[in-house]
Structure formats: structure tokens, C-alpha cells
Amino acid sequence: MTLDLLSNPLVGLVALVIAGAIIRVNRKLLSKAWWQEDERMYHMGFFEHVKTQLTLWGFTSQEPEPLSVRIRRELEQARSNQRSESTRPVAPAPRAEPVRDTTRASYQPINLDTPPSSIQTIRLSTIAQEQNVLVTGPKGSGKTTILRTILNQRIQTECIAIDPHNEPGKWPCQSVGGGLDWTAISRALGAMTKGMHDRFQQLNQGVLKSGCFPQRTFIADEFLAITQELDGRQYPIDAGKALISRLTQGRKVGECVLIAAQSDTVQSLGIKGNSDLKSCFDYLIFLGGNIATRAKFHGCPDDVAQEAFRQKRPSVVWHPERNNWYVLLHDLEPVLEGDMSIVSSVVPIGSQEPVPDIMPKNTGSEHGNQYREPAEPVPGADGMDDEIIKALHSSGWSNNRIAERMKGRREDRLARIRKALADDVDVVSE
């Protein structure tokens, strides 16, 4: 029966009409829904546009996004970016070159006594070759020891020590003024000035050219005591002016000066109003506590001062003309009181032979003086036999200089020397 109904044309026509009506109804319903949705979206967009414009024009304020919402949104965005980055293919990195070379460097132990390469150093033997040197430092810092050590490098030249606090064996050269003999020191400074004047006369007459005069060194220890006593009032000589004259003019005619003082101030040197004269010294040596005071005052760099205090004997050196600072390297054996060496005629030229110890020896160091027991006297009535006298004379010592190392009256000492040398010529006393 069902097949009969489907095969009936009338039934098919009715079904077709019903289907068309249904389609038309659905089409109207859908069209109305779509229009309503479009209208709703249009109105929403219009209102949002108006709201945005009003916000831009300043009539309304945009509601801020809650902090929790913004943080949650940023975290989600960060996780999303991280996931996308982790899934992105990465090209393999190039192979790194080996850091260590195949050959190993030889082991070099650290020398704790050598300053770093960035800090300049200078040897005491280099300073000893210069003409004018000032050594400053507190008591017991080793000023006199350094002067003796420098002086030992000039033993073949004429050297005169001016020291009001002199004691036997302190200087390996002629000394003047011991026992606070200010009169003798005044005469010595006057002779020093006259000797320099005579050399300039020889320079003017063409006897010798500048730089060809034999070196003559005056050593002044405890210069402050000298300048305070010899200020041109009680005595005819002014020690400060004599120093100024020697520093500014003496270099041309071989006149040198080595000075030890507790400070480098103009008051200590007796050159008030002439502070620039310190640049006439070739080098200034600062010892011990003067590094942190006077050296720092002149501009000593912190790294140089710190490195100097790491040394066994803290010392810095200033070259005032170039304004260079150095850590002093003590490459010369310190010369203690009573220790000196001369060039002997019985050994090859240039070799060193100690002079017999005829005075009480001093074991002073830069940390202070400690005296040993007096040495046994050399056989002989005056503590010096003929062989020693002949050795000293053949090495260039004058009779007067040898006499200073002997005991007794001066006339007896000179007669003793003449007898040993079989010299009948009278010795003119200095």
C-alpha cells in the first residue's frame, strides 16, 4: 500500500506543495534572526565607537583592567610565548675550540719581594751614581746607613763628612765637627764654598771644562742641627745658604752633596722661601714613617707607598724633576759603622779588600744602633803597623787621612807615618 501511495501522482504533488511551504517559512525565520543579530552587533559597535571617542575627548574615563586579570593574562601570554619558542627548531651551535694548549708552560714561582711590573723600581746602586741626594726619615730609619752605603761607592773620590754627632768609625772618610764643634763645621763650610769658587775660577781660565772636574762630595748628617746652629748670626757662615749655593751651582764643577735629615721641609734644610730648590736634588729618598707623611704630601701614589711597606726596608724614591716615584731596591750591602772597603794595590784593580778594623765596630741598622764589644787592637804602639800604612798609602790615602785613623798626638801620628813610608817630606796639615 505504501508503494501505491508513493506511485500516486496526486500524493506526490501534495507533498511537493507542503515542502515548498516549509522551506519558505524557514527562510523567513532565518532571515529575521540574521537581521536581529546584525542589528544587535551594529548597535554594540556603534556604542563602543561612541564610548571610545568620548574617552579620547576626555568626557569619560576608561575603566582600568583589574590587576589580577592583567597579571593572569600576561602569565598566559608568557606561557604561550615560551611554548612557541620551545617548539621552534634551533640550529646546532658551532664546535668550540679547545681552551688549553697542548704544550704546558713551565712553572714560575711567585717572588714576594719583587714589586708588580706596573710599579717602577730603582736600585740604590743607580742612585749612588748621582751627585746630589737627600735622605729623609725618622730616627732609627737607616738614614746614616744609606749615606755610608752610597759613600762607599765613591771611596776613590774626595769625600768630607760634616757631622756634629760624629763618633769613631762612623764614616769611611775625613770627618769634621764631632763633639758639637760648630767652629770646625763653620770653617769646613767656608772652605767648601771657597773650594767651589776656586773651581769656577779654573773653569773661567780654561784649566778644565765643565764636567771634567774630579768629584768632591760633602756629607751632612743631621742637617737640621747644623742649620739651627749655623744661621749666620753667631758664626760667620750660614749653612742653609751654603747648601743653596752648592745645589744651584756646584754641579758644573763636580761639587756634590749627600744630606740626611728627619724631614725635607724648608725649615729642616734651612732654605726658607726656596722650596723649589728641592728639585735641584737628583733624588729624594723617604724612609719609614716619612712615606705616609712627606712622600704622600708630594704626591706619592698609593700603590707605590703600599708596595714599599711590603718590603723588608720600606723606602720610596722621588725624582722631583720628572715627578716620578719608585720603590727603592736595596741591591747594595749595607755599610755599617767601621765597615769600609778600598781598592788595594796588592789585588787586581777594582777588587775589594776590607780595611783593618782599628775602631770599635758598630752593628747599626735601619732599625737602630747596637754596639758590639771593641775589636782587639792591631799590633803596634798606635794600633796600625807599617804594612797597613803602606797599603793605605799605595791605595791613594793621604798621610793626613791615614793619621785620622790612628791614636795619639797628631805630630806623633804623622811622624809614625813618615817613618813607615820612609818619607822625609814635611806633611802640610789641613
pLDDT digits (tens, 9 = 90+) for 53-84: 666 665 555 566 677 777 788 888 888 877 77
DSSP symbol at 225 = H
Return the C-alpha cell found at 46: 556603534
Report whether 358 contacts 168 (CB < 8 A). Answer: no
Return the C-alpha cell found at 397: 790615602
Which residues of the chain have a pLDDT value below 70? Answer: 1-9, 11-12, 25-65, 86-117, 268, 270-277, 338-384, 395-396, 423-430
CB atoms within 10 A of CB 256: 21
- Residue 427: what pLDDT? 38
To which residue does cell 783593618 refer? 356
Query: Nearest 5°: phi and psi at 335?
Result: -95, 115
What the chain holds in terms of domains, given with CATH numbers, is 121-350 (3.40.50.300)
Could you report the per-residue pLDDT of 221-278, keeping only the tens digit for each? 877 788 888 877 777 788 878 888 888 888 888 888 888 888 887 776 766 655 666 7
Q: What does the alpha-carbon distance between residue 155 and residue 135 come to, in Å, rounded to a whole number?
A: 19
- Residue 166: what pLDDT? 86
Q: What does the alpha-carbon distance between residue 255 and residue 173 come to, in Å, rounded to a whole number?
A: 16
Strand blocks (E) in 99-222: 121-123, 132-136, 158-162, 174-176, 216-220
- Residue 350: what pLDDT? 33
Q: What does the alpha-carbon distance between residue 325 and residue 121 come to, in Å, rounded to a whole number?
A: 8
Which residue, 316, 290, 289, 282, is CA-closest to 301?
316
pTM of the model: 0.52
Q: What does the alpha-carbon distance between residue 292 and residue 306 come to, in Å, rounded to a whole number?
A: 9
Query: Nearest 5°: phi and psi at 289?
Result: -65, -20
DSSP H or E stretch at residue 298:
none
